[in-house]
A and B are shown apart, each in its own frame.
Chain A
Amino acid sequence: EAGVTQSPTHLIKTRGQQATLRCSPISGHTSVYWYQQALGLGLQFLLWYDEGEERNRGNFPPRFSGRQFPNYSSELNVNALELEDSALYLCASSLHRGEKLFFGSGTQLSVL
């Protein structure tokens, strides 16, 4: 069974640009979660998608957005990048809401 896959592994952008991060959940999982992990910090919840709909979002500005496609894969978009957006972005999927998240290896975003 393939795990959660994220692309790209690394992404380097300059301030003001836009970044798109992608996530493919485990087959059969309809819930996708996005988290931001800044260096040395815990995971901050960004967005939760389930059955194609955005169900909840964390305390992040509107320039963080995303969507979930009919095949349950998901995309995270970050507009007008700022230096403090540099972090590891983790995607996770689950079979049951809020339980046993399966994580991808993350996308390391660096904003210069």
Chain B
Amino acid sequence: SQQGEEDPQALSIQEGENATMNCSYKTSINNLQWYRQNSGRGLVHLILIRSNEREKHSGRLRVTLDTSKKSSSLLITASRAADTASYFCATASSGGSYIPTFGRGTSLIVHP
């Protein structure tokens, strides 16, 4: 079963624009992670935010977490064609489960 669900399912923007993807989840979490997948290959870890954190930055990436709304957002600023990929959120539930559970992902296309 899916824990996190990304929204939108697909996003198409022009190079230089910002891209925002959202993730909603159902149960209490220890942490939430964002990953990128290029062309059906292995996923690459982007950023991890813990349940007691509200915002984290890494380069052009900004992640926010609202535990009261059980939601997170990933912002990619000044997007590039190379950012074209699928983006997944993964949540690890609190209570001793160490299984990152993934959503279906957002497919991002950045047009040059």
Contacts and interface: CB of A to CB of B under 8 A. Distances in A.
Given A33-B99, A41-B104, A100 B42 contact: no
Contact of B102 (A43, A48, A55, A56): A43
Contact of A106 (B30, B42, B92): B42
B48 to A, nearest CB: 6
B98 A55 contact: yes
Nearest to A58: B99
Interface residues of A, number: 28
Interface string B16-59: 00000000000000110101000011111100100000000000
26 contacts: A33-B99, A33-B100, A41-B104, A42-B2, A42-B102, A42-B103, A45-B99, A45-B100, A45-B101, A48-B98, A48-B99, A58-B99, A92-B43, A97-B98, A98-B31, A98-B92, A98-B97, A98-B98, A98-B100, A100-B33, A100-B45, A100-B48, A101-B100, A103-B35, A104-B42, A106-B40
Interface of B: 1-2, 30-31, 33, 35, 40-45, 48, 88, 90, 92, 97-105
